[in-house]
Amino acid sequence: MNMSPLSPVSPQHDFFLVRQPILNREQRLVAYELLLRGTAQQQAAADGDAVAATASVIAHASDVGMEQVVGLQLAFIGVDAVALMSDFIRFLPHHRVVLEILSTVRATPALLARISALRQEGFRFALDNAACDTPEVQPLLPLIDVIKVDISLLAAEALPGLAQTLAVSRKKLLAGKVETPAQFEQCLALGFDFFQGYYFARPIILSGKKMSVSELAILHLLELIQGEADNREIERRIKHDAMLGLNLLRLVNTPAIGAGARVETLGQALLVLGRRQLRRWLQILLYVKPGAGAQGTSPLLQLATTRGKLLELMVERLRPGQQHEADIGFTVGIMSLMDALFSMRMSEVVSSVRVSSKVGDALLLRHGELGQMLALVERLEQADDGPATHAMLAQLRLSDAELRAIQLEAYEWVNGYVQGLSHATH
């Protein structure tokens, strides 16, 4: 079935995109799976026209640019037989995507020929959660690069045997729905190559854990900014941490800041950045680990900055002109993962940073408007498009279309900002 590139590929206005991180064995972000959620998907499923959902994802990703949606990472996109045989598949940049063949696909001669042709054009393929020893799937294996296993569908004791069976295929193995550090460690030991899930955002509470000297220095600087200390006091504090001062000078001399003339002193750097930019940089810098390689591939950094920007943009949409409130939204979003960052309970993090009651209620209880926004973002990360999610959208007076616009703006900002931060800290 060939589809016109006009009608089925036109972006819909009643869905939002979800991108779920995929990590490699070194805990670096290497890809996102793109999912469609919202009314459009529900209607397509009801009509038995699942390809419309895939077409909408492809159309929207193509329309706004793949770099805006996933940055420098690859995009995994689920496709069924109809999508594979359709013309719109070629709207995708073959070097930026992995086509994930759904488990419902049957390996007909025509489909195998189609996949072979797309491979010759440079497309790569993953096989989604299919039993690889069945006659229906065997013909696909030579054409597949990655096999995905949803570990939530398996008992923990069944996973080793399956991993051993799949290893014979010599394909890369992706463990999906990895939700705890223990599950990750098991899959890592079994030889899986890639991991999808939010295990990296789950805090491992270490009794008696203390923040490092550099972390405390950054938090103290944030308190000085909150207390409206003058630039001389802030400069004096930064000078106590040579690496912090060096990174600040690198940051203001990156093209993203656009300082113009070369900035060579900390005093100049503080004037160029301004308080708002300085606060944001320090908040994000907490997630930057020295010697951790490309910071843009840190999943915790990406997720925290995305949450921060999403909440900021939501507040801007609902409360135009209230920049201070939007900044508080960014703070709530980026602090929401500090329990995982510091391996501490969130209550300890909140007491260490001495935040306002509004921020504390949002982080600890998901109370207040900011708490509702954070809870919504967490649901979106899990691709939850159930009635409760749509009720939360309605309560916040946000439409699917507004949410999608906010997501795309946040993704683009995070991709650019984090890449700039990586250059500034290396």
Domain at 203-426: CATH architecture: Orthogonal Bundle (1.10)
Read off the pTM: 0.89
> How far apart are alpha carbons 336 and 341 in whole angstroms?
10
* Encoded tokens for 169: 């295929």
Q: Exposure of 93 by Cβ count < 10 A (0-12 exposed, 13-18 middle, 19+ buried)?
A: middle
Strand 29-38 vs strand 15-24: parallel, antiparallel, or unpaired? antiparallel
DSSP letter at 91 equals G
Confidence bin at 251 (pLDDT 50/70/90): confident
Q: Is the pLDDT of residue 341 over 90?
A: yes
Sign of CA dihedral 188, 342, 228, 268: negative
Query: Quick check: 74 and 68 in contact, CB under 8 A?
Result: no
Report the pLDDT value the prediction gives residue 10, as an integer from 0 to 100.
41
Query: Quick check: 98 and 120 in contact, CB under 8 A?
Result: no
Q: What is the CA radius of gyration of the chain?
A: 23
Spell out the residues 6+ positions from residue 313 whose beta carbon is closer than 8 angstroms to its own: 326, 406, 409, 410
Task: Provide the 10 A C-beta neighbour count for residue 296.
Answer: 21
Q: What is the mean pLDDT of residues 163-182?
A: 93
**CATH no. of 15-201:** 3.20.20.450
Domain-by-domain residue ranges, the chain?
15-201, 203-426
> How far apart are alpha carbons 31 and 302 in whole angstroms?
12
Spell out the residues 6+ positions from residue 58 whose beta carbon is closer than 8 angstroms to its own: 9, 77, 88, 89, 91, 92
* Encoded tokens for 186: 């098991």
Report the pLDDT value the prediction gives residue 133, as an integer from 0 to 100.
60
> Which position has the higher pLDDT, 416 or 367?
367
Report the pLDDT value the prediction gives residue 134, as an integer from 0 to 100.
67
The amino acid present at 27, given as its one-letter code, is Q
The amino acid present at 105, given as its one-letter code, is V
The amino acid present at 67, given as its one-letter code, is E
CA 50 to chain centre: 25
Confidence bin at 7 (pLDDT 50/70/90): very low
